[in-house]
């Protein structure tokens, strides 16, 4: 934990500035409840040629919700880093749930891996947003580095599984 606090404190000491304060809060806010990823999945579902990708993302987000928010966070119950540094002024309202794994990061990487596995070129810009989102959670002092790493790994797993599930759901039973 001391090493993780040192990483977060280094970010605060060396990177904190007005522009990054705004960027981190804005980027993090896009995913407060998975909004940006849900909108992307819904938009892809509306485009006939992108329905597999949209369903892959939707399945990945559903698996993420269950595994991250309903199972792992309550089970592990890790305290967030800002609780150890009450003198910090947070740039976002303090989250009320547990810290591990990072839900923002998990949802973002779930969509990235769902799109990649489904063959969509949109995985590249999604990866850029996912990376900035993950870093914003560290910058905002609301997650430990291992929370973000755990979220990325969980997201990768449920993204892959979501894409496989979508393909299974769309498979024509008459073809088997």
pLDDT at 88: 80
> Would 129 be classed as within a structural domain?
yes
Tell me what the pLDDT averaged over the chain comes to: 93
| DSSP H stretches of helix in the chain | 2-14, 18-30, 35-46, 51-64, 73-76, 103-118, 123-139, 145-170
Q: State how many domains the chain has.
A: 1
Mean pLDDT of the 1-16 span: 92
> Would 46 be classed as within a structural domain?
yes
Mean pLDDT of the 16-44 span: 94
pLDDT at 173: 47
Are 41 and 107 in contact by the 8 Å Cβ rule? The answer is no
Q: Which two tokens stand for residue 170?
A: 């769309």
Q: Which two tokens stand for residue 163?
A: 């894409």
> Would 175 be classed as within a structural domain?
no
Q: What is the DSSP letter of 48?
A: G
pLDDT at 176: 33
Q: How far is CA 138 from CA 12, 70, 125, in A?
A: 9, 22, 21
The domain that contains 78 carries what CATH number? Answer: 1.20.144.10
pLDDT band at 172 (very low <50, low <70, confident <90, very high): low
Report the predicted TM-score, pTM, of the whole model to 2 decimal places.
0.92
Contact residues for 25 (Cβ-Cβ < 8 A; gap 6+): 91, 92, 136, 140
> Would 163 be classed as within a structural domain?
yes
Are 106 and 52 in contact by the 8 Å Cβ rule? The answer is no
> Would 132 be classed as within a structural domain?
yes
Which residue in 144, 110, 154 sits closest to 129, CA to CA? Answer: 110
pLDDT band at 143 (very low <50, low <70, confident <90, very high): very high
pLDDT at 174: 47
CB atoms within 10 A of CB 97: 11
> At residue 41, what are phi and psi to the nearest 5 degrees?
-60, -45
> Would 100 be classed as within a structural domain?
yes
> Would 176 be classed as within a structural domain?
no
* Residue 26 lies in domain: 2-170
Displacement of CA 5 from its chain's centroid (Å): 21
106-136 pLDDT per residue, tens? 999 999 999 999 999 999 999 999 999 999 9
> Would 141 be classed as within a structural domain?
yes
């Amino acid at each position: 934990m001391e090493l993780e606090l040192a990483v977060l404190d280094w970010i605060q000491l060396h990177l904190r500035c007005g522009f990054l304060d705004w960027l981190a809060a804005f980027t993090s806010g896009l995913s407060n409840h998975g909004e940006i990823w849900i909108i992307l999945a819904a938009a892809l579902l509306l485009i006939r040629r992108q329905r597999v990708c949209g369903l892959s993302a939707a399945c990945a987000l559903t698996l993420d919700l269950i595994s991250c928010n309903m199972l792992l966070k309550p089970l592990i119950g890790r305290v967030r880093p800002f609780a150890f540094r009450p003198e910090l002024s947070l740039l976002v309202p303090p989250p009320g749930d547990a810290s591990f794994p990072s839900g923002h990061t998990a949802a973002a990487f779930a969509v990235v891996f769902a799109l990649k596995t489904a063959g969509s070129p949109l995985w590249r810009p999604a990866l850029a947003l996912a990376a900035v989102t993950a870093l914003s959670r560290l910058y905002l002092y609301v997650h430990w580095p291992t929370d973000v790493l755990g979220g990325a790994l969980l997201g990768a797993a449920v993204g892959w599984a979501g894409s496989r599930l979508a393909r299974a759901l769309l498979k024509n039973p008459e073809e088997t």
